[in-house]
Amino acid sequence: MIVIIKRGATDAQAQEVVEKITAMGYGVNVSKGVERLIIGVLGVRENKEMLAAQLSGIACVERVVPVSKNYKLVSREGAQAGTIIKLPNGVEIGGTAVHVIAGPCTVEGREMLLRTAHAVKQSGATLLRGGAYKPSTSPYSFQGMGKEGLEILAAAREETGLPVITEVMDPRDVAMVETYADILQVGARNMQNFNLLKEVAKARKPIMLKRGLSATIEEWLLAAEYIFAGGNHDVMLCERGIRTFETATRNTLDLNAVPLLKQLTHLPVIVDPSHGTGRWELVSPMARAGLAAGADGLMIEVHPNPADALKDGFESLTFEKFAAMMDGARAVARAVGRPIASDVAATV
């Protein structure tokens, strides 16, 4: 069961509700976000209706929602409306318009990132991606430029106005990375790094949580619940493919997840067909499929010269191929009544 406290209620009023609940012998989780305070009531097995009625009667309580799922705060049961994540420059993820996040797998240098940022913006991307800290399978492959990479991302934002998203791998880096990034990415390999989840929950920047390599939807939503319960309510999910018996593609992009997540959670859903397929020829068709399935956005790897990319060149699009992909995505987005955000802005 979750108890949603009215906007404008004081901490003392919320504390009174917490005390009432604990006095009745239940556990509580208090999730204090920037806009909302939500109390999760734990251990309610009987007399649910009576308890709900009792709590609903308290003046500062907006509503009480009985939630049957293990993930309470991110469940669709607790929220009629979808979460909308608001970023600088009017970017809103989770609204009617869909967003395209594009950029290289890895920040490899200033010149390549700036060129890529301008090119993807020109074609209609509304956010820039690029890894500065890379989760590499092999200890011998490139680990990322670190802080210098973050500085380059910030410079690209300065020049293009595109908000930037980048991965954070280490709980000790969260506070520093959030001073550069507009969105923090938690990568597939860290989806269940619970210490990292608790740390990004304290960040005051939105989080994009990628699906773990072999994570079920329930495990993924429980990972998102960690962030929400820890007080960060700006969470979005990214389907990036899962491990299956199939080896012809790098991963199996699970597009079932998109409409299913729309039923189960109020969090925005992004589709990453680059990692989801691992083959650049498949990126454009699966990007279109992702939008047709109801995604709120796409994440696409783009590189000035994929053959020379330090990472993931095989799944990266050239600038020209990205522009062509955007044309196809635009047509599907229009067909499902969710235009690409840069087109909406262009017509205002």
Residues that bind ligand PEP (CB under 6 A): 105, 131, 135, 187-189, 210, 240, 275
* Residue 114: CB atoms within 10 Å: 16
For the CB of residue 166, give the shortest distance to ligand PEP in the complex, in Å. Answer: 9
Residue with the shortest CB distance to ligand PEP: 187
For the CB of residue 116, give the shortest distance to ligand PEP in the complex, in Å. Answer: 14
Residue closer to ligand PEP (CB basis): 61 or 197: 197
For the CB of residue 55, give the shortest distance to ligand PEP in the complex, in Å. Answer: 40
Q: Which does 268 bind (CB under 5 to 8 A by kind): ligand PEP, Mn ion, none?
A: none
Q: Which does 188 bind (CB under 5 to 8 A by kind): ligand PEP, Mn ion, none?
A: ligand PEP
- State the Cα–Cα distance between residues 313 and 322, nearest whole angstrom: 14
For the CB of residue 170, give the shortest distance to ligand PEP in the complex, in Å. Answer: 14
Q: 273: phi > 0 → left, psi -120 to 50 → alpha, else beta; which?
A: alpha
Q: Which residues bind Mn ion (CB under 5 A)?
A: 105, 312
For 152, list phi and psi in degrees, rounded to 5.
-65, -40
For the CB of residue 133, give the shortest distance to ligand PEP in the complex, in Å. Answer: 10
Residue closer to Mn ion (CB basis): 94 or 306: 306
Residue closer to ligand PEP (CB basis): 27 or 135: 135
For the CB of residue 129, give the shortest distance to ligand PEP in the complex, in Å. Answer: 7
Residues 6+ apart with CB under 8 A from 115: 304
Residue closer to ligand PEP (CB basis): 240 or 288: 240
Residue closer to Mn ion (CB basis): 105 or 237: 105
Residue closer to Mn ion (CB basis): 222 or 283: 283
For 23, list phi and psi in degrees, rounded to 5.
-65, -25
**Start-end of H helices in 161-316:** 174-177, 194-200, 217-229, 257-264, 273-277, 280-293
Q: Given the DSSP bridges, would you call strands 92-93 and 183-186 parallel, antiparallel or unpaired?
A: unpaired
- State the Cα–Cα distance between residues 329 and 32, nearest whole angstrom: 37
Report the candidate in 61, 56, 303, 86 with the shortest Cα–Cα distance to residue 182. Answer: 86
